[in-house]
Amino acid sequence: MLRKRIIPCLDLKDGQVVKGVKFLDLRDMGDPATHARFYNAEDADELVILDITASRERRQTLLRVVEKVADVLFIPLTVGGGVRTADDVRDLLNAGADRVSLNTAAIHRPELIGDAAERFGSQCVVVAIDAKRRPTGWDVYIFGGHENTGRDALEWSTEAERRGAGEILLTSMDRDGTQLGYDIELLKAITSRVRIPVIASGGAGEMSHFHDALVAGGADAALAASLFHTKAMTIPELKRYLRSKGVPVR
């Protein structure tokens, strides 16, 4: 069985780490390179950086920030935000990213997924899906959660896989920042449809929530932000807990 991954996430705004609730009320949480150094020492399996206002502001991810983080990081790095072309993917990989996350642009131009996968390999391409509940399912949102595309999240996940995505970063907008637990129903609906790895995001508040996402939800990795940033929970103690429950972690 493949070992499950624990992944901290840095949401960026104006080059600084921020965190909010349900994509709103963002508060400053410091310098990304400082966080990166901390997570190197914390036994994190990977780090995700998302420039959450880049698409809405019609600009590229801040490459200088990515370079600074990559210079101090010794674990895999995934970067997203403002990626519109395969050349943008190239620039982020050259800046030190190992994988690049596509979101808004992939909805507007789905062939971007295939273009990037063909040029750099599917292992470099992550499709981020920000999903919000509707009465009969989940809609996909873009522009940092500000615009409802009307697309069904389950259908989009299978299309993303078919077009060449190597992984899906699945965020429940309803649970983001609430610490009420991951949306297990959403996770199961996606993980049962796709064969590529799925990262669970949105809602972690206690150790059992990670267990639920990785076991009941079928996720290959679990991502959290403020819980780790504030040191309310450490990654080493979380991994010890998961091992005690029989979950294979790195």
> Could you say which DSSP state residue 123 is in?
G
What is the spatial distance between Cα 69 and Cα 85, in angstroms, rounded to a whole number?
22
The H-or-E segment that residue 112 falls in is helix 111-120
What is the spatial distance between Cα 172 and Cα 131, in angstroms, rounded to a whole number?
5
What is the spatial distance between Cα 73 and Cα 78, in angstroms, rounded to a whole number?
12
- Give the bridge partners for 148, in sequence order: 141
Q: Is 11 a catalytic residue?
A: yes
Q: What is the DSSP code string of 142-173?
A: ETTTTEEEEEEHHHHHHHHHHHT-SEEEEEET
Cα angle 179, 183, 184 (rounded to 5 degrees) comes to 125
Q: Is 130 a catalytic residue?
A: yes
Contact between 125 and 113 (Cβ < 8 Å): yes
Cα angle 45, 170, 160 (rounded to 5 degrees) comes to 110
Q: Which of 210, 250, 192 is nearest to 200 (CA)?
A: 210
Report the DSSP pairing between strands 99-102 and 77-80. parallel
Choose the catalytic residue: 51, 88, 115, 130: 130
Q: Which of 73, 114, 121, 122 is nearest to 97 (CA)?
A: 73
Catalytic residues, by residue number, are 11, 130
